[in-house]
Amino acid sequence: MRLGGTWVAGIALVFTGVAATAGCGSESSAERVQAAPARPAATPATDPAPNAATRANRALREIPALLTVEHEVDVAAQRDGQVVALNVEEGAKVEAGAVLGKLDSRQVESQIEQSRADLRISESNVKYNEAELHANQARLERAQLMFKEGLGSKADLDEAEFKAKGSTYDLDSWKAAVDKRKAELHALDLELEKTRIRAPFGGVVSRRYVRQGDEVAKGARCFRLSQMSPLLVEFQVPETDARKPEVEGSVRGTLVSDPSRTFEARITRVSPVVDAASDSYQVTATLVAPAADLKPGMAVHIGWSNPSSTANTAAGKPAGKRP
């Protein structure tokens, strides 16, 4: 019986150890569950719908551009020479045809004086030959009359006819010489005019490239002349945009230096061709009542909205996709 009691006591100890082990395992699992971090919620497959500001930004394209004018040109020297006078400085307002500067013209003026003297000689020879022709024609008439009356020989008649014809040819030659001298003089007058650097249109001298005493070559830039109005803005519109510019249409722009400054412009020209490199075409607009401080060359942004983008984004749908 002692053995039996011992066996029973051993069985009881075994069950007690199993129960204790099971109790410890349960507590560790609970602790692990409580300590484990919560799993994040499932991420949506797509981004949330953009708000109104985001949709507006997507629908409005800001196109960079520059303020410009219709007439702006570098006035160049029309012949070689030395700058002997500067009549204007930068910022000066000038009328069309005003002399901006002068080149040395002494050589041309000397050639003009010589050509005028040659012209006077040729004109004098014309007068002399006109008188000689008149005298020879009178001799020819007397020779014809005398030959008819039998008082003159055929040789005298032939000589009179020869002199009359010769005088006619001499007169024509000197008249041609006069025309030639006049043409030469006109060409020299044009060369003299080229020594004067003139404004091709009325505007403002925005830059002076030369100084007095400079030697310039034909075609060298001397002044930059610019109109100040009307102010234009030229910008490129992608050919793929749904909105197509139309003449007399209106656009708005802002200054790059001060985005709070806005202006309105009216479309005046739309290029009929598309630039293959940029897949866009040029649009020109004229500013409507621009502020006095706006000047050519200022950088601006033109706001260009796409109607299809506006309609789609207003509904919370990406532009160009069907629902």
* The pLDDT of residue 40: 47
Query: Residue 308: inside a domain, yes or no?
Result: yes
pLDDT digits (tens, 9 = 90+) for 28-43: 444 443 444 444 444 4
Q: Are residues 88 and 124 in the same domain?
A: no
Query: Residue 52: inside a domain, yes or no?
Result: no
Query: Residue 211: inside a domain, yes or no?
Result: yes
Q: Are residues 143 and 275 in the same domain?
A: no
Query: What type of residue is 221?
Result: R
pLDDT of 311 strictly over 50: no
* Most confident listed range (33-47, 83-97, 144-158): 83-97
Alpha-carbon distance of 153 to 294, in angstroms, equals: 94
* The pLDDT of residue 241: 87
pLDDT, averaged across the chain:
82
Is the bond leading into 230 cis (omega within 30 degrees of zero)?
yes
Of 270 and 311, the structure prediction assigns the larger pLDDT to: 270
Q: What is the largest CA-CA distance in the chain?
A: 204
Q: Are residues 83 and 220 in the same domain?
A: yes
pLDDT of 323 strictly over 80: no
Q: Are residues 83 and 214 in the same domain?
A: yes
* The pLDDT of residue 304: 86
Of 236 and 10, the structure prediction assigns the larger pLDDT to: 236
Q: Domain with 290 in it: what CATH number?
A: 2.40.30.170
Q: How many angstroms separate the Cα of 212 from the Cα of each of 67, 85, 319?
A: 32, 6, 62
pLDDT of 23 strictly over 50: no
pLDDT of 172 strictly over 70: yes
Give the residue numbers spanning the domain of 168: 106-194
pTM: 0.59
Query: Residue 127: inside a domain, yes or no?
Result: yes
Domain count, the chain: 3
Q: Confidence class of residue 51 from pLDDT cuts 50, 70 and 90?
A: low
Helix ranges (H only) for 262-323 are: 307-314
Asked if residue 234 lies in contact with residue 282, where contact means CB atoms within 8 angstroms, the answer is yes
Alpha-carbon distance of 175 to 131, in angstroms, equals: 14
